[in-house]
Amino acid sequence: MLLRKIAGFGFIFLSGFLLMFTILSYSDWKYEDELVKHLSEEVVSRCPTNDLQCIADTAIYYTHLMQDPMKDIFSGKNFSSPKTILTHSSFSNFYFGKGACGAYASFFSRLIAQSGYRSKFVIMNGQGREGMHISTVLEKDDKLLLVDPFYGIVYRDTNNNMVDIDTVSKYWHSYYAKQTPVGYTKIYDYQYGWKYTNWGKLGFVSKVIYKATSFFVGKEKTEKFSLRYYMIRLNHAIVLIGAGSFVLSLLIAFRLFRPEIRSLREYFRNRKNYKYSGS
């Protein structure tokens, strides 16, 4: 009985912590969404025809406008706050700007998503190494149009139209390498392949998820799935998980204290009956 009560109080404490955590996460979620919304409105206002090329160029401009100063100040600095781990999202870089290519890609993808376009993260392979660089592709008309937010590149063909990643890879040395700015790392040449989700990053766990997903939806769809795209608004998921965990812990606590709750209800019922009978 004592252990049951101790466990019950433990779950009550846990439910209180989860409620507080959910409220704080919800506050972060709404604040970030408002920031993205206002930035997106600014992007769209500069592209009255809603042209994707204009939106991509403008989104890159604002990505660098917001990220560059933060990166210059905070790059290489250590942060130990639980916020940097528990509520990490694409806009975490808005607060402390430590990231490089991945941070720019996340910020850009979230901004472009608010503007009405889907994207995928491109995790580039290099010479004997995976995950050397991260860029993005924008989905339009069954094409994956390549953009490199970190280097500020919207790849274009000879007609100044945005171009898909396979074409960039095919004609890299003959044409598209010339579109890269001074300081571009030359080994990021799209010649060694790429992936949209690093299924080996979490070792055994992610490999099992990859095999299960391949079995149910097919290998091709699995390899084209960009998990990181769905993590750019991580606070949404954190709020749902936190709220669900709060409700679950509260239900467990009520179940553990069910005898005491039943006794309390009987006490108030008897007291009420006694009051009526006495009057």
Give the whole-angstrom CA distance, residue 71 versus residue 80: 17
Query: Taking the chain (279 residues) in consecutive chunks of 10 residues, what is each chunk's mean pLDDT?
Result: 79 90 85 88 90 94 87 76 62 64 89 91 85 92 94 94 96 94 92 87 76 84 83 80 91 84 73 59
**pLDDT at position 93, please?**
62
**pLDDT at position 74, please?**
77
**pLDDT at position 56, please?**
95
C-beta separation of 121 from 143 below 8 A: no
Residue 269 lies in a domain: no
**pLDDT at position 173, please?**
93
Residue 184 lies in a domain: yes
DSSP 209-255: HHHHHHHHH-HHHHHT--GGGGGTTHHHHHHHHHHHHHHHHHHHHHH
**pLDDT at position 149, please?**
95
Residue 274 lies in a domain: no
What number of H helices and E strands is found in the chain? 10, 5
User: What are the C-alpha distances in Å from 17 to residues 88, 94, 215, 240, 247?
Assistant: 19, 27, 39, 15, 12
Residue 14 lies in a domain: yes
Residue 276 lies in a domain: no
Residue 266 lies in a domain: no
**pLDDT at position 19, please?**
92
Residue 279 lies in a domain: no
**pLDDT at position 112, please?**
92
Residue 277 lies in a domain: no
Parent domain of 38: 2-260
> Please, which residues have CB within 8 angstroms of residue 231's CB and are 6 or more apart in sequence?
89
User: What are the C-alpha distances in Å from 144 to residues 14, 33, 120, 201, 226?
Assistant: 45, 26, 8, 24, 12
> Please, which residues have CB within 8 angstroms of residue 254's CB and are 6 or more apart in sequence?
261
Number of domains in the chain: 1
